[in-house]
Amino acid sequence: MSVASVKLLIDGRFVESRSSEWRDVVNPATQATLARVPFATHEEVMGAVASAKKAFGPWRSTSIGTRARIFLKYQQLIRGHQKEIAALLTAEQGKTLADAEGDVFRGLEVVEHAANIGTLQMGEFANNVATGVDTFTLQQPLGVCAGITPFNFPAMIPLWMFPMAIACGNTFVLKPSEQDPMSTMRLVELALEAGIPPGVLNVVHGGAAAVDALCDHPDIKAVSFVGSTRVGTHVHRRASLAGKRVQCMMGAKNHAVVLSDAHREQTLNNLVGAAFGAAGQRCMAVSVAVLVGEAGAWIPDLVERAKKLTVGDGAAQGTDVGPLISAAARARVEQLIARGQEEGAKLELDGRRPALSEAVAHGHFVGPTIFSGVKPGSALYDEEIFGPVLCLMSAASLDEAISLINANPNGNGTALFTRSGAAARRFKEEVDVGQVGINVPIPVPVPLFSFTGSRGSKLGDLGPYGKQVVLFYTQTKTVTERWFDDATTTGGVNTTISLR
């Protein structure tokens, strides 16, 4: 039976790729083939950029009100289709339906923010910077921008990118993950329905070749990337060398520190949810818990809670932990678990080969897995596992825990569980991580702020969404102006720098 093909979007039309290279989009729970996605040809990628370039002139001069109203309509359309998109997302990505709705919702919040572009893209003005002289700034769009997104949030992360770029007056070429492009494409269809004009948003599919072509293209002015550290580092180098602005949000190893004065019930529930939700395939998942002092005695309780989670099809009611994205991802996670055992960490809970219903018996499942006694220098600690594996470590003090976190190369997210304000203040001040939670396990900021990874988790100065992204997607121009009339002319040539 033939399956539907995922289309490219070029110049406002959804077109069939002429590529000879395709891959199947497969439901990771049931193994049903949902669609096939092309690896766009070089000409198709060039066509998408050319269409975005052509659309830039008219779009940059479109009024703020018109741009804002498109995003007002877009947020309404997404809200109306939230369940439909979530179902598609669960089918192609695996996460539970409730979590998929959350994926759509966190992207929707960025669209709502984009509808405020009128107040976000305002410049500054200073009167009389010299006698009769005023200076003001313009935040002007850059031109064609590109976005490259990962598989784990196929709704939220594309929505981190193109709505704000386009609201700022840019045009866009999006390259979604080739593993699960269908929910992204549904969101793109709704963006056109909301009124985004032809050529302002374009989509190409593919892998390394398409990404490299976007990094190299002289007509692309800025690249936003979210994905692994390996690929993000490559994208940052390549696109920077080609003279572009680049922001790369990358891999993670997020530590939660637990002090023994923390609220035990809340802390353990939060840890289990943040470690095993979305099968650990979140860049902000808690993958390491550092138990300080007497909190080390909470391990059996933690293990009992993790054991109670239901592993299965994300589309089935009652499922807590869905599948990993692919057979390769499952094999990698299972190998890391085996390696952890060889390296001497204690396997407190083994999630390999969980009990499954007949319908998903061939899915890519690993259940909640917990190791204790994990040490820096082991593969379990040094690699981003990106699966439902929680590493437990112990520390004698909060200071020791902070030193451990700051010595890890990643700096995406972290959390402290405590009832001590003094400990929380010390942690916030001293930990070198972009996003810090105090009794909040996954502290991803809402779009009034920007996503803020640090050290190895991020390259580029400005983060996605929020205030920072307006600076990322615009060029600041200062205008200093004076107007002469007979009363203000001073006469004579002046060869010195003005002293007033």
Residue positions annotated with a catalytic role:
283
Q: Are 437 and 443 in contact (CB under 8 A)?
A: yes
- Residues near 497 by beta carbon (within 8 Å), at least 6 away in sequence: none
Cβ-based nearer residue to ligand NAD, 199 or 453: 453
Could you tell me the smallest distance in angstroms from the CB atom of residue 225 to ligand NAD?
Answer: 7
Q: Tell me the pairing of strands 254-258 and 286-292.
A: parallel
Strand, helix or coil for residue 282: coil
Query: What is the side-by-side strand order in the sheet with 286-292?
Result: 346-349, 369-372, 389-395, 286-292, 254-258, 413-417, 435-438
* Residue nearer to ligand NAD on the CB measure, 41 or 457: 457
Cβ distance to ligand NAD smaller for residue 81 or 234: 234
Quote the least distance from Cβ 146 to ligand NAD, whole Å.
11
Q: How far is the CB of 345 from ligand NAD (least distance, A)?
A: 22
- Applying the rule CB under 6 A, the residues between 91 and 150 that interact with ligand NAD are 148-150
* Sole binder of ligand NAD in the list 386, 417, 427, 465 (CB under 6 A): 386
Out of 99, 384, 402, 442, the residue judged to bind ligand NAD by CB under 6 A: 384
Residue 461: CB atoms within 10 Å: 10
Q: For tokens 């008219």, what's the residue?
A: 58
- Which of 146/194 has CB closer to ligand NAD? 146
Two structure tokens written together for 400: 């020791």
Interacting positions 195-254 with ligand NAD (CB under 6 A): 207-208, 211, 226-228, 231, 234, 249-252
**Site map for ligand NAD, 447-486, x if CB under 6 A?**
----x-x---x-----------------------------
Minimum CB distance to ligand NAD smaller for 291 or for 390: 390
Contact 465, 447 (CB under 8 A): yes
Q: Which residues contact 428 (CB under 8 A, 6 or more apart)?
A: 436, 438
Q: Which residues contact residue 187 at a Cβ distance below 8 angstroms, ignoring those fewer than 6 apart?
A: 78, 85, 107, 155, 158, 159
Q: 103 near 86, Cβ under 8 Å?
A: yes
Report the nearest approach of ligand NAD to the CB of residue 450 (Å).
11
Minimum CB separation of residue 99 from ligand NAD in Å reads: 14
- Kindly give, in sequence order, each residue whose CB lies less than 8 Å from that of residue 315, ignoring residues fewer than 6 positions away: 29, 87, 90, 91, 97
Measured from each CB, the residue nearest to ligand NAD is 227
Q: How far is the CB of 231 from ligand NAD (least distance, A)?
A: 3
* Interface mask toward ligand NAD for 144-183; x: CB under 6 A: ----xxxxxx---------------------x-xx-----
Total number of residues that touch ligand NAD (CB under 6 A)? 28
**CB of 314 or CB of 387, closer to ligand NAD:** 387
Is 298:264 a contact under the CB 8 Å cutoff? yes
* Secondary structure class of 137 (helix, strand, coil): strand
Q: Looking at residues 404 to 433 of the shown chain, list those that interact with ligand NAD (rule: CB under 6 A).
A: 412
* Contacts with ligand NAD, residue ranges (CB under 6 A): 148-153, 175, 177-178, 207-208, 211, 226-228, 231, 234, 249-252, 283, 384, 386, 412, 451, 453, 457
